[in-house]
Structure 1
Amino acid sequence: MATDQASMRTPGGRSERYAFAVLALLCFVYVLNFLDRQLLSILAKPIQDDLGISDGQLGLLGGLYFALFYCILAVPVAWLADRSNRVRVLTIACALWSAATIACGMAHTYPQLAIARMSVGIGEAGGVPPSYSIISDYFPASRRGTALGLFNLGPPIGQALGVAFGAMIAAAYDWRLAFLLLGGAGLVAAAAVWALVREPKRGATDAPVLHAATADPAEEAVSFWTTLRMFATRPTLALVSLAAAATQFVTYGTMGFTTLFLMREKAMTLDEIAIWYALVLGVGVSAGIFLSGRLTDRFAARAPQVFGLLPGLALALAVPFFIGFVHAPTWPVALAFLAVPTFLNYFYLTPAVTLVQNSVSARQRTLAGAVLLLVMNLVGLGLGPTWVGAASDWFHPAHPHNSLQLAFYSLIPFYLIAIALHLALARRLKRDGIVQPLQP
């Protein structure tokens, strides 16, 4: 694959148009990535009815079982991507998780489904970190927040399409068919990435510096422990990772059971889910992620505390509406309340990714992105749905008709933890000053 990106910084030029085309394709792959990941929670009710699994077992499938492989393998995969062709790594990963998604649709027992979900996690470990790094080498630091914000529209679009597509297929045919069709689409997307995306030169869009770093860039790229120590010893990186992890505990815990909650405790049907819940997800999360990226680009250069202050304030505003969603007596009222935290809960993602990508050298970006995702997803994705599912099972004997409602209430303290960590990050950034991208 070609690596010549000589005119990458030419505004409005052919290279810029190609950069946006690459961004669009990578965003599409991310849509499929997240759709594969969330289809289990979207189809929770028919899967439970077919396989006879509990809320706790469902939480483990979408949480700990998936996250252990997804998070742990993301680090060695990122290490490989920093030393090799990132486009090739992404292509193989996309093909692998798509094949595993097909296997989910062929599962007939809980152990078979568990193994298939673990395999999806193995494949998806190679999806996001290489994409972060590729995008960061196609867009300069001044526009990286917007570019990464557009890329991060993948999750909300994937969620919305997953709800609409998965619910409609399950209602009209069978939940298994949704997995089979989605896996097939992923295999086509993997071929498109391989054929159309050129591997960019590392650091192609970084501003030149007068004095290069004395360290060997190749050594930077291969040292996972150096990157991990950097996250542990640099307060900014440690705080942004923990703040994002606490936020994801809430978002993944909620998202993993919202469809089941609306159907079982608010009496929504699959057809209603496919229209109204899909609309709330698609509009709310997309708007939150995109707007946070734009605001970050606008204010971060002169007020670096925005990386922590913006998501912290958004989460504080979301709390009363989240309580209203859980307490609402009917599903239309519940969805009206849910629209607000769906918008505000995702103000953390683009600032977190942009801050990390801007704070490390070009040859560390894939691995640094993987370490960020390791912390975020091991805590948020691994423990959030697991917590909610276990709490629902614990409440069920005494409260069989509203066990998920009580489990959702137990997420409120984690909201407060996430707010406190983001405000601590804002104070640290205000003290340290403007975040300057390191050079390769």
Structure 2
Amino acid sequence: MAVPETLAPPAADAGTTSPVAPSARPGARAWFVLGMLCFVYVLNFLDRQLLSILAKPIQDDLKVTDGQLGLISGLYFALFYCFISIPVAWLADRTNRVRVLSIACALWSAATVACGMASTYPQLVLARMTVGVGEAGGVPPSYAIISDYFGPGRRGTALGLYNFGPPLGQALGVAFGAAIAAAYNWRSAFQLLGAVGVVTALAVYLLVREPRRGGLDAGPVATVPAGRVTPSAKAGFWETVRMFFTRPALLLVALATGATQFVTYALLNFTTLFLMREKGMALGEVAICYALLIGIGVSAGMYVSGRLIDRFAARARHSYALVPAVALCAAVPFFVGFVWAPSWPLALLFLAGPTFFNYFYLSPAVALVQEEVRPDQRVLSGALLLLVMNLIGLGFGPTYLGAVSDLFRATHPHHSLQLAFYTLVPFYGLAVLLFLALARVLRKEGPRTGARTGDR
């Protein structure tokens, strides 16, 4: 398959200034790579969300509780996903990021196939943990690859488009997963969609080229062709970790996104079960109506937030924080309406609000971190962002909601999830407060640009 070449900059010697202007228009190859990485991200999230989408038939088959579902989709998965992502990111910062990504994609896809072969809860736990191990090598290398194909001023939009992966993965997971499960069984959905990922991993390895690190950044860079980093450009592991957790802006953006994901992952992992068990929705209706809502609503939120950041952040750096803060405030009344609604059509109508506004945080957060650090620290810094926000959000959000639902089940057996969902409202408030604190820090620090910020 022939792929058009991009307007690639010539190699820069260590310590020289990049000859490419930050505003250089991305070439055809850059857009092709973005499309490939976005598709991998779609599969990443599709495989990750199959468990929540097929929660009802899995519960019926394996006899697991809401609390057990929360653990397997939350804490058990997150422990492997979050902590293994750190050494994988450190390796990717020093080696070929595309190879790391392709190997990771093959691993999590094979583990997804294994989920469909599980006959007991412990076997399903083991397979899901392996999915987490593979997915740990998916997103951080992709963030850094995209940042080396798209220069400052265009990264917000590029990362916003890349972040279509989660909503598209959720939508396709709902559509195909529910449809396959309705036509055959839940095991077939895992096996078929996992096999698609194995083929995609091979395509990434053969078709995506490793870009030069920092080739599109203004200021000094230290890179050589084919993604090899010069000795002076290799940031130390602990140096990067210390830099990330001692910079107020980076720490606050990680905590704010973690609080946001506490809500979004809790909602995401139990919405299908809630709609089916307490709102009377059928699996076939989930495959069409909920899939369309997820695909359109979250994608629109990702894209709009990315465009807003590219438009306002250059003039007002605290926009990285104010955009998600305002969006989360707007989401709350719609969320309460969704939980209250007596029927699933009305519930879906209200759910459109949180589906759109809940995801305004991701593109600004990723763009801020990628702009704030040196090119040779981007993969590990992206992994540290994911470590904090996924450990808090993915690890404890679904785990918390499942446990609270089990707690209410004894006294309110028909509405336990509804009551559990109401308890998420205070976490919206916590996320807003953290984003406002981040806005204050960014306003106090004043304007900065990528390479110069990372070199401090």
Alignment TM-score, normalising by the size of structure 1: 0.96
- Ranges of 4+ aligned residues in structure 1 off by more than 6 Å: 10-15
Task: Using the TM superposition, give the Cα deviation of residue 314 of structure 1 relative to its aligned residue in structure 2, in angstroms.
Answer: 0.3
Structure 2 residue 204 is matched with structure 1 residue 193: yes
Contact 1:171–1:271 under 8 Å retained in 2: yes
Please point out which of 29, 37, 41 is paired with 1:30.
Answer: 41
Measure how far apart 1:204 and its partner are.
1.1
1:70 corresponds in structure 2 to 81
Q: Is the 8 A contact 2:6 2:30 kept in 1?
A: no
Distance (whole Å) between structure 1 residues aligned to residue 158 and residue 195 of structure 2: 28
Letter in 2 for 1:6: P
Q: Within the alignment, does 1:110 sit opposite 2:121 as a pair?
A: yes
Q: 2:62 aligns with which of 51, 72, 93?
A: 51
Q: Secondary structure at the match of 1:199?
A: coil
Distance change >3 Å, CA 45–CA 229, structure 1 → 2:
same
* Paired letter, 1:266: K
The equivalent position to 2:379 in structure 1, one of 348, 356, 366, is 366
Mapped pair 1:146 → 2:157 = yes
2:22 touches 2:218 (CA, 8 Å); kept in 1? no
Question: Of 3, 6, 18, which residue of structure 1 is paired with 2:9?
Answer: 6
> Do structure 1's residue 257 and structure 2's residue 260 form an aligned pair?
no
Paired with 1:436 and 1:217, the residues of 2 have a C-alpha distance of: 23
Tell me how far apart the structure 1 counterparts of residues 188 and 289 of structure 2 sit (CA, whole Å).
22
Deviations 1:176-217 (A, max 9, x none): 0010011110011101100000110100111234999xxx97
Structure 1 residue 231 displacement after superposition: 2.1
Change (3 A) 1:210 1:260: closer
> Aligned pair 1:128/2:150, yes or no?
no
| CA distance 1:352–1:218, change in 2 (3 Å) | farther
Q: What secondary structure, in the 3-state scheme, does the structure 2 residue paired with 1:141 have?
A: coil
Shift of 1:223: 2.0
Aligned length: 436
Give the unaligned 5+ runs of structure 1: none
Q: Tell me the CA shift for residue 5 of structure 1.
A: 3.8
Q: How far does the alpha carbon of each residue in 1:143-200 deviate from its partner, in whole angstroms, 9 at most, with x for none? A: 0000000000000000000000111111111000010011110011101100000110
2:324 aligned with 1:321, yes or no? no
TM-score (normalizing by structure 2): 0.92
Residue 91 (str. 1) matches residue 102 (str. 2): yes
Following the alignment from structure 1 to structure 2, what is the Cα–Cα distance between the partners of residues 67 and 425? 25
- Tell me whether 1:162 sits opposite 2:165 in the alignment: no
Q: Given the alignment of the two structures, is residue 246 of structure 1 paired with residue 259 of structure 2, yes or no?
A: yes
Is residue 175 of structure 1 aligned with residue 178 of structure 2? no
For the aligned residue pairs, the C-alpha RMSD in angstroms reads 2.2
Provide the rounded CA distance (Å) in 1 between the counterparts of 2:345 and 2:25.
Answer: 47
Matched, 1:41 2:47: no
Matches of 1:418 and 1:317, distance apart in 2:
13
8 Å CA contact 1:217, 1:363 repeated in 2 = no
Tell me if the contact between 1:42 and 1:162 (Cα under 8 Å) persists in the aligned partners: yes
| Contact map agreement 1:203 1:363 (CA 8 A) in 2 | yes
Q: Which amino acid aligns with 2:243?
A: M
Q: Which amino acid aligns with 1:38?
A: Q
- The answer on whether the counterparts of 1:355 and 1:435 sit within 8 Å (CA) in structure 2 is no
Judging changes above 3 Å, is the alpha-carbon distance between structure 1 residues 422 and 13 closer, same or farther for their aligned structure 2 residues? closer
The one-letter code of the counterpart of 2:404 is: A
| Cα 1:79–1:4 shift into 2, 3 Å | farther
For 1:172 and 1:180, the matched residues in 2 are separated by: 14
Select which of 236, 239, 242 maps to 1:226.
Answer: 239
Match of 1:337 in 2: 350
Task: Report what 1:277 is aligned to.
Answer: 290
Report whether the alignment pairs 1:395 with 2:403.
Answer: no
Q: Which runs of 5+ in 2 are unaligned?
A: 11-18, 224-228
1:219 positional shift: 6.2
Q: Amino acid of the residue matched to residue 354 of structure 2?
A: P
C-alpha displacement of 1:250: 0.3
Change (3 A) 1:210 1:364: closer
Partner of 1:19: 30
- Residues 63-87 of structure 1, C-alpha deviations (whole Å, 9 max, x = no match): 0000000000000000000000000
Q: Percent identity?
A: 66
Which whole-Å CA distance do the structure 2 matches of 1:9 and 1:232 have between them?
31
1:15/1:253 CA distance change after superposition, 3 Å: closer
Amino acid aligned to 1:184: A
Q: Which amino acid aligns with 1:198?
A: R
Partner AA of 2:9 in structure 1: A
Conservation of the 8 A alpha-carbon contact between 2:26 and 2:150: no
Partner of 2:16: none
- The reply to whether residue 379 of structure 1 matches residue 392 of structure 2 is yes
Quick check: 1:312 aligned with 2:315? no
Is it true that 1:80 corresponds to 2:91 in the alignment?
A: yes
Q: Distance in 2 between matches of 1:240 and 1:14?
A: 29
Between the aligned partners of 2:398 and 2:188, the Cα distance in structure 1 is 24
- The whole-number CA distance in structure 2 between the counterparts of 1:20 and 1:211 is 25
Give the match's secondary structure for 2:154. helix
